[in-house]
């Protein structure tokens, strides 16, 4: 009850105040968490502190712990602030690798977790493809289907980002082969027997194309599309699937129009050339997958024009277009889906999501639903409680206009970083700033990989939890409840950190 | 509170009564759900009834619904009984494709869902590899690690059965290549550059071997190992990985010792021959994966002797041994893990689990933990709330001795089916009865695929929800709270169904 009251208060606080980008004072007062700390607080001489280190080592007795950054105390974390087991309070602009949408312990989510509907669903997990629960349709009509990309009315739920991409890839392969047959279900006896031996034609030599420095997951199919770092791929067998060069653009995009247009044209030519060559070789490309902003691989952006032309090329050759919004989806770029920035004349074929959505899966059109059941199927096929969480997230985001707010805070953050890159603290240390107009989905390069690591370490020591990507980038992935106050704290802390290097 | 009291009562009822296989009356009184229905009740003229059909069609507006069996009302389901939206009450011996361990709405699980610890974990999902929660070690020391197979002290959590298998496969490939290098981390520049192109040596031409009619999942790596039905594999590119013939045994195993020994020897010879051939071809088999009982593919059993000899062959050739216990794990075979039936001289290398555990992942030894972090990694790396659920399940199972109980009920069930196969109702309709001594993990063949479908339909119409597998098998996958009373109901209903055919 106390939490319900708190939620009500928070919601009122948000809706009472009209949002104006020109009124910084009113903007700064906008917060969803009345009890959120007002500033970070670091009480140990290093982060992680001794309690984190001990807890991490203890986990090391049964699993890998060298990737641990710190050990969290999630019962104490609130809003934008992650509290660790040492009692350090960190402003979190990494947000669980970009997977926390509206902050720690958001009262609307806590309320959800206490509901009978959630408890029943959590403890009676159905095999959704066979025995869906009574609530299944309504849960999605009031939730994920409200944010279905226009033209993509079908939803396939899965369990994580990699699975979501692989589910879409399977749907694309099935649809590609169905199109080649007169009757989608007219499998030949050779199809039926050869697939049991993993051989063509039943297991066809088709591929999904991705881009250099892409990241699409780490299962066997999705890892074959991932091209970000060798450490992800080494020693794991991969499909012989092609990659085109992602445009090597310069930033800000709009100030390098001519060079970037050339880079993007070269990339598109390569895409088309690979499609043509593979077709001639009898092993066609069935689909292409792309992140609207390449994230894990280093935060690489391309222009809306690039993506529009890419769609044209794919349509020309009958190649399905899969948009991987696992990291970009759910508002962080200042649009609910990042692909909305592109203004495509028609929707992509598949849009995949996970992370911030908490639920995972893909949207697609009825045209790519298989002609027979059980072709794309598994035991759980998603998770009702994660769909419930997605519904609550969508409602909180929409009621509080958090996507527009993120667009505005992103502008403030970008301008602040741009300013910082001009003064002595930032000069030569903040390079290739990118994400102008892309909400808070912002990154910059340090002068070297070592300096990048130094910046992230320095930020953490001063109470800000940030993450890296690519070779030497710092990526910002704050939550949608990150407002101007938090941006100010971040910028001040970054300036101090840069000065200390 | 009411539920907590109910739990206490249920637990007391269980522990008050010593379990004796010779005392059927006392056994029949043993139940975890005081309010469980005493019999099925079907109130519609067909199952699914009109409300289920309408609800399913409505789901069909946004996703595949032709695989729906019925639409469940999980708030009303209890213990072994699944209630549908028409109000039909079905004895459930399929249990959400073998993924429900201790019954619907078990009071211990409802209690868990209401705990602050669960609520915090559900709504603040961490990126476990970077920011694990304070509770992570303790959660597993008191949970999944209590059932770690001897010698496999390491636990890698994932999200589903397919992912669990693929995680183990990745670990096996990494360990295989590490063994070939003098220094596990001495990657050559060729390794580093070639893997970014999905080419050898960085992306090596190694394989995982599986068996004919195996099922290991439906993502791209796991689907390449699955050989159960064409519909699972058609049109999806697959790795050129080998399969050996699973022994074509006759049942009961112990009554066909000589023929089965021959079939098993032939299978083992084929395994060894494939390993040798592939090695000569420069594309070695790095691991072999096997289900202790092939489930989805038709419930095929092999003897403990087969698995012991299989391990010997694998050890001889340095091939990792992955045991896929996604369906067999967590007690249903009368051992906590089915591989315990084999009495292996040393543990397998990997044991994968999911389904009944609700959590998913694999156990392995420290030897197969990668020499560097981030090699086997993803954003979520499991889910704390599913680990919590696994802990509660393990505690309920252990406190109530549900594994031994399942062994005993399984014997009753098997004997009943065997008896039924001898009388006129079952003659020629119950063939190849299998699962003797394997708990309730029992199956039989019908006379034809059509008759199998007829049996499942007839059972449903009479209030029993059962599932099929393979071409014409009926598989029983009741929960661990299925007792003699339920077995009696099932057997009576099956007899009626068979008579009506």
Please answer yes or no on whether B154 and A62 come within 8 Å at the CB atom: yes
DSSP E strand stretches across B327-393: 350-353, 360-364
Residues of chain B neighbouring A354 (CB-CB closer than 8 A): 379
* Res B480 pLDDT > 70: yes
**Chain A contact for B334, CB < 8 A?**
no
The tens digit of pLDDT for each residue in B105-158 reads: 999 999 999 999 999 999 999 999 999 999 999 999 999 999 999 999 999 999
* Res B30 pLDDT > 50: no
**Chain A contact for B83, CB < 8 A?**
no
Whether A497 contacts A426, CB under 8 Å: no
Q: What pLDDT is attached to residue A180? A: 94
**Chain A contact for B70, CB < 8 A?**
yes
Q: Name the pLDDT band for B34 (thresholds 50, 70, 90).
A: confident
A332 Cβ contact partners less than 8 Å away, ≥ 6 residues apart = A98, A356, A406, A439, A440, A441, A477, A478, A480
> Pairing mode, if any, of strands B442-445 and B431-434?
antiparallel
A229-233, A331-335, B32-36, B373-377: which range is least confident on average?
Answer: B32-36
For this structure, is A220 an active site residue? no
Q: Name the active-site residue from B118, B173, B215, B246.
A: B215
A233: nearest CA partner in chain B? B195
A141: nearest CA partner in chain B? B62
Please answer yes or no on whether A82 and B131 come within 8 Å at the CB atom: yes
Please answer yes or no on whether A378 and B198 come within 8 Å at the CB atom: no
Residue B300 backbone dihedrals phi, psi, to 5 degrees: -105, 135
Please answer yes or no on whether B240 and A198 come within 8 Å at the CB atom: yes
The dihedral region occupied by A151, where left means phi > 0, alpha psi between -120 and 50, and beta the remainder, is left
Q: Name the pLDDT band for B6 (thresholds 50, 70, 90).
A: very low
* Nearest by CB: A375 against B231, B376, B385: B231
* Nearest by CB: B99 against A114, A127, A240: A127
The tens digit of pLDDT for each residue in B384-441 reads: 999 999 999 999 999 999 999 999 999 999 999 999 999 999 999 999 999 999 999 9
* Res B70 pLDDT > 70: yes
What are residue B361's DSSP bridge partners? B157, B353
**Chain B contact for A66, CB < 8 A?**
yes
Structural domains of chain A, with CATH: 50-106+402-500 (3.90.1150.10), 114-399 (3.40.640.10)
* Res A30 pLDDT > 70: no
Whether A58 contacts B137, CB under 8 Å: yes
Question: Among A7, A28, A14, A22, which residue's Cα sits nearest to residue A486?
Answer: A28
Please answer yes or no on whether A231 and B375 come within 8 Å at the CB atom: yes
Select from A94, A220, A390 the residue whose CB has the most chain B CBs within 10 Å, as the one to mutate to test that interface.
A220
* Res B485 pLDDT > 70: yes
Q: What pLDDT is attached to residue A3? A: 38
Q: How far is A20 from chain B (nearest CA, A)?
A: 30
* Res A304 pLDDT > 90: yes
For this structure, is B336 an active site residue? no
Question: Among B261, B292, B245, B263, which residue's Cα sits nearest to residue B441?
Answer: B292
Average pLDDT over residues A295-318: 98
Q: How far is B48 from chain A (nearest CA, A)?
A: 11
The tens digit of pLDDT for each residue in B209-250 reads: 999 999 999 999 999 999 999 999 999 999 999 999 999 999
Residues of chain B neighbouring A238 (CB-CB closer than 8 A): 195, 198, 203
Residues of chain A neighbouring B122 (CB-CB closer than 8 A): 113, 118, 122, 385, 389
Q: Name the active-site residue from A343, A379, A427, A499.
A: A379
A:B CB pairs within 8 Å: 371
**Chain A contact for B20, CB < 8 A?**
no
**Chain B contact for A192, CB < 8 A?**
yes
The tens digit of pLDDT for each residue in A205-227 reads: 999 999 999 999 999 999 999 99
Residues of chain B neighbouring A374 (CB-CB closer than 8 A): 67, 231-232
**Chain A contact for B218, CB < 8 A?**
yes
The tens digit of pLDDT for each residue in B44-58 reads: 999 999 999 999 999
ipTM of the complex model: 0.93
Please answer yes or no on whether B177 and A235 come within 8 Å at the CB atom: yes
CA distances from A64 to A67, A409, A465, B54, B386 (A): 7, 37, 21, 49, 19
Q: How far is A222 from chain B (nearest CA, A)?
A: 8
Q: Name the active-site residue from A324, A349, A445, A483.
A: A324
The tens digit of pLDDT for each residue in A2-25 reads: 434 443 443 333 333 333 333 333
Residue B321 backbone dihedrals phi, psi, to 5 degrees: -110, 110
Q: What pLDDT is attached to residue B182? A: 83
For this structure, is A233 an active site residue? no
Average pLDDT over residues B45-72: 98
Share of chain A above pLDDT 70, in %: 94
Whether A320 contacts A349, CB under 8 Å: yes
Look up the pTM and report it: 0.94
* Nearest by CB: B230 against A56, A110, A196: A196
Q: For residue A337, give the DSSP letter.
A: S
Whether B187 contacts B174, CB under 8 Å: no
Residue A89 backbone dihedrals phi, psi, to 5 degrees: -115, 110
**Chain A contact for B166, CB < 8 A?**
yes
What's the rounded Cα separation, in Å, for the pair B123 and A392?
A: 11
Which H or E element spans position B293?
strand B293-294
Residues of chain A neighbouring B121 (CB-CB closer than 8 A): 74
Q: Name the active-site residue from A118, A215, A336, A490.
A: A215
The tens digit of pLDDT for each residue in A144-181 reads: 999 999 999 999 999 999 999 999 999 999 999 999 99
For this structure, is B333 an active site residue? no
B15 Cβ contact partners less than 8 Å away, ≥ 6 residues apart = B399, B400
* Res A428 pLDDT > 80: yes
Please answer yes or no on whether B126 and A160 come within 8 Å at the CB atom: no
């Amino acid at each position: 009850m106390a939490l319900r009251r708190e939620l009500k208060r928070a919601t009122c606080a948000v809706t009472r105040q009209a949002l104006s980008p020109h009124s910084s004072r009113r903007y700064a007062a906008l917060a969803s968490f009345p009890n959120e700390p007002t500033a970070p607080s670091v009480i140990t001489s290093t982060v992680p502190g001794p309690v984190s280190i001990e807890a991490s080592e203890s986990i090391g007795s049964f699993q890998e712990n060298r990737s641990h950054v710190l050990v969290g105390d999630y019962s104490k974390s609130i809003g934008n602030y992650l509290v660790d087991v040492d009692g350090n309070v960190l402003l979190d602009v990494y947000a669980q690798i970009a997977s926390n949408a509206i902050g720690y312990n958001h009262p609307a989510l806590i309320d959800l977790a206490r509901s009978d509907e959630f408890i029943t669903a959590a403890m009676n997990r159905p095999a959704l493809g066979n025995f869906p629960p009574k609530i299944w349709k309504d849960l999605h009509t009031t939730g994920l289907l409200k944010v279905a990309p226009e033209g993509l009315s079908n939803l396939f739920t899965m369990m994580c980002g990699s699975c979501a991409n692989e589910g879409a890839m399977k749907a694309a392969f099935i649809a590609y082969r169905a199109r080649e047959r007169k009757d989608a279900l007219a499998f030949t006896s050779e199809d039926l027997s050869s697939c049991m031996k993993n051989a063509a034609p039943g297991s066809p030599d088709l591929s999904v194309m991705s881009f250099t420095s892409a990241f699409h997951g780490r299962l066997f199919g999705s890892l074959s599309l991932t091209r970000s770092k060798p450490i992800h791929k080494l020693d794991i067998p991969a499909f012989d699937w092609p990659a085109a060069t992602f445009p090597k653009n310069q930033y800000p995009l709009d100030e390098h129009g001519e060079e970037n247009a050339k880079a993007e044209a070269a990339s598109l030519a390569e895409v088309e050339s690979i499609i043509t060559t593979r077709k001639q070789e009898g092993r066609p490309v069935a689909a292409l997958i792309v992140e609207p902003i390449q994230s894990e691989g280093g935060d690489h952006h391309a222009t809306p024009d690039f993506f529009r032309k890419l769609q044209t090329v794919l349509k020309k050759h009958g190649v399905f277009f899969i948009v991987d919004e696992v990291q970009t989806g759910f508002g962080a770029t200042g649009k609910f889906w990042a692909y909305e920035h592109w203004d495509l004349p028609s929707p992509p074929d598949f849009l995949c999501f996970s992370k911030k959505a908490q639920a995972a899966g893909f949207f697609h059109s009825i045209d790519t639903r298989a002609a027979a059941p059980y072709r794309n199927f598994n035991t759980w096929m998603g998770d009702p409680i994660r769909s419930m969480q997605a519904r609550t997230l969508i409602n909180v985001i929409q009621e509080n206009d958090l996507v527009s707010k993120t667009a505005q805070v992103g502008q403030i953050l970008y301008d602040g970083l741009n300013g910082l890159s001009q003064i002595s603290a930032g000069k030569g240390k903040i390079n290739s700033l990118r994400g102008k107009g892309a909400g808070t989905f912002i990154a910059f390069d340090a002068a070297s990989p070592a300096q990048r690591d130094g910046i992230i370490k320095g930020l953490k020591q001063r109470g800000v939890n940030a993450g890296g990507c690519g070779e030497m980038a710092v990526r910002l992935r704050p939550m949608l409840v990150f407002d101007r106050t938090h941006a100010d704290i971040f910028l001040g802390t970054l300036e101090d950190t840069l000065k200390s290097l």
